[in-house]
C-alpha cells in the first residue's frame, strides 16, 4: 500500500477497502452544468450531462464535481454521492473562482497591477468566503502563467510578464484562497494552473503549442508555480498544450520529475477540462484508454471530464497491467487526503440557509471598491488634467460603449454575479458628481462585433450587442455634440469582456470597432479628453498617448468598479497601480518585455525596426499618481560580498508634490558577466510605501543569493556566479538611480 508517513489511519483504512472501480471513481471529476437545455440545445451533450452525472453519482463513480454554485443543489448532489457509495465518501466541489463569486473583484491582471500583496490576499479571501458559503471547496485558481504576448487573451487571468512579481502575486493569491493551511475554515483549496508554460502559445493563439527553452522554463515560467507551492497550494492543474512536443497532461518529465521531484509538490494534480482525453486529440495517445493510462502514469491524479471520462478505462488498464497499482493508490490517497483535510468526511454539507447573508455582506463590496482603486494605472496625465474638480465643471460628457455596460464592467470568468448591483463608470460618475455638475452620456459607436461566438455565450450572459439598424453616423454626431458642449469628455473605451480570456486571442491590438474614430472625433472638438480604458491587455495607444491628456487603465474593475473609477477621476482616491507588463507601441513588437539580454550592439538597442522605435510606449512597472517623487543616490551596505552573502540596498525617496502619495519603489538587477549572459534588467525586489507631501522615506531592499541564482544552459544547472552586479532603483523598469556591488568567490 502506497502511503506517505503523514497519511491518517482513516485514509489508509479506507484506501485498503476500495475496489479498483471505486478507486477509479475517486479520480474522476465531472462538469455538472446548470446551463438551460433551451440555450445549449435539448439534444446537446451538455443538456444530457446532468442525467449521466447523477447516474455516476448513484454508482459511486464520482470523486468531484465542478460548476455547481447553488448550495441546495450542492447538498442534493452531495447526498447522492454519499448514498451512492458503500463507504459514504463525499465529493469535492470545484469551481472557477477567478476574481470573485457574487462580489466581483478586478480581473487578476488588475489585481497584479496593484503590486500590493495585501490587497490581493484580501480580495481572494473574500472570494473564498463567498464560494465556501455556497458549498465550493476548491478554486481553479490562481492562474500563474507568465504572459509575454498580449495577443494571448488569457494574459488577463495572470500577473503579467515577470517571474518575480508573478511569484509575489501567486503566493498572495494562494494565501487568500486557502488561508494558512488546506482546510482553514471559510477557505478553499487553491489550484494554481496551468502547469506549465501555457502562456507561451505560438503566435499568442490560445491552446497552440509551446516551445520553451530550458532556461526560459526554469528561470521565467516556473518561479510563480514554485512560489504558489511554497505557499502551500493543495492542487495543481495540468495544461492543455504540447510543451516541446509532449502534451503537458501526459508529460511524465513535467508532472513527476519537475512538479514532484524538483518543486516538491505534495498535493493532487487535476487535468484541465478534458485534457486527459485530449491526449488522443493531440495525436499522442492511440485512443481514450491509452490516453487515460498515459495521463495517470505521467502523474495526473484526477481527470476533469466534460463528458464521458477517459479514466473509466483505468479499471481495465489495471487488470491488463498497464498501470502501476502503486501509482493508482498514490493518486487515490491524495484525493482522499484533500477531502479529509477539508473535513468533508465529518461535515460534507453546506449550511444553505446561511449562504445568502455571506454573499450579501456589504464589507465584501467595500473590499472590491478598494481593490479597484488600488488596481487602476494612471498611464498618462499631461498638465495634471486629473484629478478633475467636480465643483469647477459645468458639464461632464461620459462617452463610449463601455461607459454604461454592467456586464463589461465586471469582466470575463464570472458566473454568479449580480448585475443589478454592478456600478458602471457612468453610474459612479453620476453618484460622485451629484448636482454639482451636469453629466451627459452618449454611446458614440456600435458595440464591436466578434468574428466568432464566445465559448461563454451558452451561459446567456453576454456583453451587449448593437441592433443591426444601429445608426452609426447619428451616434457619432451625438457624441461629438455632447463633447463640444462639455467642459471635459470622459471616454470609456476598450475591449468588451468577451474579446479577452480563454480562446479569445487577437492578431492586432487596436481599439475594436469604430472606437479610434470616436476618440479622434471627440478630441477634435478641443474639449479636454480623459481616456478611461477597459482592457486586460495593452492596446495600441500611440495616437491616444499623444492626443489625450490623460489615460487611466481601469481594466475590468468589478462590482464596485464605477465607484472606484469616479473616486480616482475626481481625486477622492489617487491611482497607485503599476503595469505588470511592458506596454508595446504596436502589435508588431510583441513579445516585448523588460528582461532581455544585452546584444552585441547595445548602443542601437532602441533602433531595431526601421519604421518605429523598439522601445515600449510605457515601460514595465510604470504608473503615475497625483503627486511626484524623486530618488536619491542608492547605497549598498557592502561593496563586496561572498556568494551566499546578502546586500541591503537603501534609497531615499522624497514626495515632491503637495499631496500624500503611494510610491512603488522597484529594484532592478543586472549581472555583468558569468556562466550565462543575464538580462539587462530583472525586477528583484520592490516596496510600496506611503509618503507624506514633502516628506522623505528611506527604503531598504535586501538582495540575497535567491535573487541572484539562475538556471544556466551552459552547465544545465543552477548557478550562483561571482560577478559584478548593477542595481537600479526607481519608479519603473527604466529607473536611472544606480549603484553596484561585487560577489567574490
The residues near 274 (Cβ < 8 Å, ≥ 6 apart) are 304, 305, 306
| Positive or negative torsion for Cα 497, 501, 507, 508 | positive
Smallest distance, ligand NOJ to C-beta of residue 68, A: 13
Smallest distance, ligand NOJ to C-beta of residue 248, A: 11
Place of cell 494565501: 175
Smallest distance, ligand NOJ to C-beta of residue 272, A: 5
Which runs of consecutive H residues, i.e. helices, occur in 342-422? 352-359, 362-375, 406-410
Angle in degrees, 0-180, between the axes of helices 9-17 and 325-341, rounded to the nearest 10: 130
CA–CA dist 120, 99 (Å, integer): 10
Place of cell 489508509: 12
Is 290 within 8 Å of 263 (Cβ atoms)? no
Q: Give strand pairing partners of 66.
A: 31, 94
Q: Confirm or reject binding of residue 273 to ligand NOJ (CB under 6 A).
A: yes
Letter string b/e over residues 177-187, b meaning 16 or more CB atoms within 10 A of that residue's CB: bbbeebbbeeb
Element holding 489 (H helix, E strand): strand 488-494
Phi and psi at residue 714, in whole multiples of 5°? -75, -40
Smallest distance, ligand NOJ to C-beta of residue 700, A: 39
Nearer to ligand NOJ, 146 or 388 (CB): 146
Nearer to ligand NOJ, 272 or 553 (CB): 272
Q: What are 362's three cell numbers?
A: 456589504
Is 247 within 8 Å of 213 (Cβ atoms)? no
CA–CA dist 498, 156 (Å, integer): 12
SS3 518: helix
Nearer to ligand NOJ, 304 or 493 (CB): 304
Nearer to ligand NOJ, 22 or 96 (CB): 96
Angle in degrees, 0-180, between the axes of helices 71-84 and 352-359, rounded to the nearest 10: 140
The residues near 6 (Cβ < 8 Å, ≥ 6 apart) are none
CA–CA dist 264, 256 (Å, integer): 10
Q: Confirm or reject binding of residue 208 to ligand NOJ (CB under 6 A).
A: no
Sites for ligand NOJ among residues 28-57 (CB under 6 A): none
Sites for ligand NOJ among residues 58-117 (CB under 6 A): 96
Nearer to ligand NOJ, 305 or 388 (CB): 305
Nearer to ligand NOJ, 80 or 241 (CB): 241
Smallest distance, ligand NOJ to C-beta of residue 538, A: 22
Establish whether the linkage from the previous residue to 623 is cis, with ω within 30° of 0: no
- Measured at the alpha carbon of residue 241, what is the angle toward residues 239 and 247, in degrees to the nearest 5? 90
Sites for ligand NOJ among residues 317-356 (CB under 6 A): none
Radius of gyration, alpha carbons of the chain = 26
Residue length, the chain? 745
Is 46 within 8 Å of 40 (Cβ atoms)? yes
CA 726 distance to own-chain centroid: 31
Smallest distance, ligand NOJ to C-beta of residue 91, A: 16
Going by C-alpha positions, the residue among 126, 178, 135 that lies closest to residue 341 is: 178
Phi and psi at residue 71, in whole multiples of 5°? -60, -35
Smallest distance, ligand NOJ to C-beta of residue 165, A: 21
CA–CA dist 196, 10 (Å, integer): 33
Nearer to ligand NOJ, 477 or 502 (CB): 502
CA–CA dist 701, 650 (Å, integer): 6
- From candidates 116, 161, 216, 272, binder to ligand NOJ by CB under 6 A: 272
The residues near 206 (Cβ < 8 Å, ≥ 6 apart) are 152, 153, 154, 502, 503, 504, 505
Smallest distance, ligand NOJ to C-beta of residue 299, A: 18
| Positive or negative torsion for Cα 300, 303, 304, 306 | positive
Element holding 425 (H helix, E strand): helix 425-433
Smallest distance, ligand NOJ to C-beta of residue 96, A: 5
Position with the least CB separation from ligand NOJ:
140
Q: Confirm or reject binding of residue 502 to ligand NOJ (CB under 6 A).
A: yes
Nearer to ligand NOJ, 199 or 428 (CB): 199
Smallest distance, ligand NOJ to C-beta of residue 322, A: 27
Nearer to ligand NOJ, 32 or 725 (CB): 32
Nearer to ligand NOJ, 416 or 442 (CB): 416
Q: Which residues are catalytic?
A: 272
Q: Confirm or reject binding of residue 520 to ligand NOJ (CB under 6 A).
A: no
Nearer to ligand NOJ, 452 or 610 (CB): 452
Smallest distance, ligand NOJ to C-beta of residue 191, A: 8
- From candidates 137, 151, 193, 364, binder to ligand NOJ by CB under 6 A: 193
Smallest distance, ligand NOJ to C-beta of residue 303, A: 12
Nearer to ligand NOJ, 278 or 563 (CB): 278
Size of the residue set binding ligand NOJ (CB under 6 A): 6
CA–CA dist 251, 249 (Å, integer): 6
Nearer to ligand NOJ, 164 or 413 (CB): 413
CA–CA dist 141, 158 (Å, integer): 10
- From candidates 105, 115, 140, 725, binder to ligand NOJ by CB under 6 A: 140
Smallest distance, ligand NOJ to C-beta of residue 415, A: 10
- Measured at the alpha carbon of residue 471, what is the angle toward residues 467 and 472, in degrees to the nearest 5? 105
CA–CA dist 329, 2 (Å, integer): 6
CA–CA dist 103, 114 (Å, integer): 18
| Burial status of residue 570 (CB atoms within 10 A of its CB: 0-12, 13-18, 19 or more) | buried
Q: What are 536's three cell numbers?
A: 486586460
Interacting residue ranges for ligand NOJ, rule: CB under 6 A: 96, 140, 193, 272-273, 502
Amino acid at each position: 500500500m502506497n502511503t506517505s508517513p503523514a497519511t491518517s489511519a482513516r485514509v489508509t483504512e479506507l484506501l485498503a477497502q476500495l475496489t479498483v472501480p471505486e478507486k477509479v471513481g475517486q479520480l474522476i471529476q465531472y462538469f455538472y452544468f446548470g446551463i438551460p437545455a433551451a440555450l445549449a440545445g435539448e439534444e446537446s451533450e451538455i443538456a444530457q450531462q446532468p442525467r449521466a452525472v447523477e447516474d455516476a453519482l448513484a454508482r459511486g463513480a464520482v470523486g468531484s464535481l465542478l460548476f455547481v454554485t447553488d448550495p441546495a443543489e450542492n447538498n442534493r448532489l452531495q447526498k447522492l454521492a454519499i448514498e451512492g457509495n458503500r463507504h459514504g465518501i463525499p465529493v469535492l466541489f470545484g469551481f472557477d473562482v477567478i476574481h470573485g463569486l457574487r462580489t466581483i473583484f478586478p480581473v487578476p491582471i488588475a489585481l497584479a497591477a496593484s503590486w500590493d500583496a495585501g490587497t490581493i490576499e484580501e480580495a481572494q479571501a473574500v472570494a473564498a468566503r463567498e464560494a465556501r458559503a455556497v458549498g465550493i471547496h476548491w478554486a481553479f485558481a490562481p492562474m500563474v502563467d507568465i504572459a509575454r504576448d498580449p495577443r494571448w487573451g488569457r494574459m488577463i487571468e495572470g500577473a503579467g510578464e515577470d517571474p518575480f512579481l508573478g511569484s509575489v502575486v501567486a503566493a498572495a493569491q494562494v494565501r487568500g484562497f486557502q488561508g494558512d493551511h488546506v482546510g482553514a475554515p471559510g477557505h478553499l483549496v487553491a489550484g494554481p494552473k496551468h502547469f506549465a508554460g501555457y502562456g507561451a502559445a505560438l503566435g499568442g493563439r490560445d491552446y497552440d503549442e509551446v516551445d520553451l527553452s530550458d532556461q526560459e522554463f526554469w528561470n521565467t515560467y516556473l518561479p510563480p508555480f514554485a512560489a504558489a507551492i511554497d505557499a502551500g497550494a493543495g492542487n495543481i492543474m495540468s495544461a492543455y498544450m504540447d510543451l516541446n512536443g509532449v502534451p503537458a497532461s501526459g508529460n511524465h518529465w513535467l508532472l513527476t520529475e519537475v512538479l514532484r521531484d524538483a518543486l516538491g509538490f505534495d498535493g493532487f494534480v487535476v487535468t484541465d477540462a478534458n485534457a486527459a482525453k485530449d491526449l488522443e486529440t493531440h495525436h499522442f495517445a492511440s485512443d481514450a484508454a491509452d490516453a487515460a493510462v498515459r495521463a495517470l502514469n505521467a502523474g495526473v491524479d484526477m481527470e476533469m471530464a466534460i463528458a464521458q471520462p477517459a479514466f473509466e478505462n483505468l479499471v481495465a488498464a489495471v487488470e491488463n497491467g498497464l498501470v502501476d497499482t502503486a501509482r493508482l493508490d498514490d493518486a487515490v490517497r491524495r484525493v482522499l487526503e484533500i477531502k479529509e483535510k477539508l473535513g468533508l468526511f465529518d461535515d460534507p454539507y453546506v449550511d444553505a440557509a446561511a449562504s445568502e447573508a455571506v454573499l450579501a455582506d456589504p464589507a465584501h463590496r467595500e473590499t472590491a471598491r478598494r481593490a479597484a482603486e488600488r488596481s487602476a494605472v494612471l498611464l498618462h496625465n499631461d498638465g495634471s488634467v486629473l484629478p478633475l474638480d467636480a465643483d469647477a465643471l459645468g458639464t461632464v460628457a461620459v462617452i463610449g460603449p463601455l461607459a454604461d455596460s454592467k456586464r463589461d464592467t465586471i469582466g470575463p470568468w464570472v458566473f454568479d454575479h449580480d448585475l443589478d448591483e454592478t456600478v458602471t463608470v457612468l453610474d459612479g460618475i453620476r453618484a460622485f458628481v451629484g448636482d454639482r455638475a451636469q453629466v451627459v452620456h452618449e454611446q458614440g459607436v456600435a458595440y464591436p462585433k466578434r468574428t466568432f461566438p464566445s465559448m461563454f455565450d451558452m451561459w446567456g450572459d453576454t456583453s451587449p450587442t448593437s441592433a443591426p439598424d444601429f445608426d452609426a453616423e447619428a451616434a457619432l454626431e451625438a457624441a461629438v455634440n455632447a463633447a463640444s458642449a462639455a467642459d471635459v469628455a470622459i471616454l470609456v473605451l476598450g475591449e468588451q469582456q468577451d474579446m479577452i480570456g480563454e480562446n479569445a486571442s487577437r492578431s492586432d491590438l487596436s481599439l475594436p470597432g469604430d472606437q479610434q474614430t470616436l476618440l479622434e472625433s471627440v478630441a477634435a472638438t478641443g474639449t479636454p479628453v480623459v481616456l478611461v480604458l477597459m482592457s486586460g491587455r495593452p492596446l495600441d495607444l500611440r495616437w491616444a498617448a499623444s492626443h489625450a491628456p490623460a489615460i487611466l487603465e481601469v481594466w475590468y474593475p468589478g462590482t464596485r468598479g464605477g465607484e472606484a473609477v469616479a473616486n480616482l477621476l475626481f481625486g477622492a482616491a489617487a491611482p497607485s497601480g503599476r503595469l505588470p507588463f511592458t506596454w508595446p507601441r504596436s502589435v508588431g513588437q510583441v513579445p516585448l518585455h523588460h528582461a532581455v539580454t544585452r546584444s552585441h550592439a547595445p548602443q542601437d538597442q532602441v533602433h531595431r525596426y526601421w519604421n518605429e522605435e523598439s522601445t515600449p510606449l510605457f515601460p514595465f512597472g510604470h504608473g503615475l499618481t497625483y503627486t511626484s517623487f524623486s530618488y536619491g543616490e542608492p547605497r549598498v551596505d557592502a561593496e563586496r560580498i561572498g556568494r551566499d552573502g546578502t546586500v541591503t540596498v537603501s534609497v531615499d525617496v522624497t514626495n515632491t508634490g503637495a499631496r500624500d502619495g503611494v510610491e512603488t519603489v522597484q529594484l532592478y538587477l543586472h549581472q555583468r558577466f558569468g556562466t550565462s549572459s543575464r538580462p539587462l534588467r530583472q525586477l528583484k525586489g520592490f516596496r510600496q510605501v506611503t509618503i507624506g507631501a514633502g516628506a522623505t522615506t528611506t527604503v531598504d531592499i535586501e538582495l540575497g543569493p535567491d535573487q541572484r541564482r539562475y538556471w544556466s544552459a551552459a552547465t544545465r544547472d543552477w548557478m550562483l556566479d561571482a560577478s559584478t552586479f548593477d542595481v537600479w532603483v526607481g519608479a519603473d523598469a527604466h529607473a536611472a538611480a544606480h549603484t553596484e556591488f561585487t560577489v567574490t568567490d
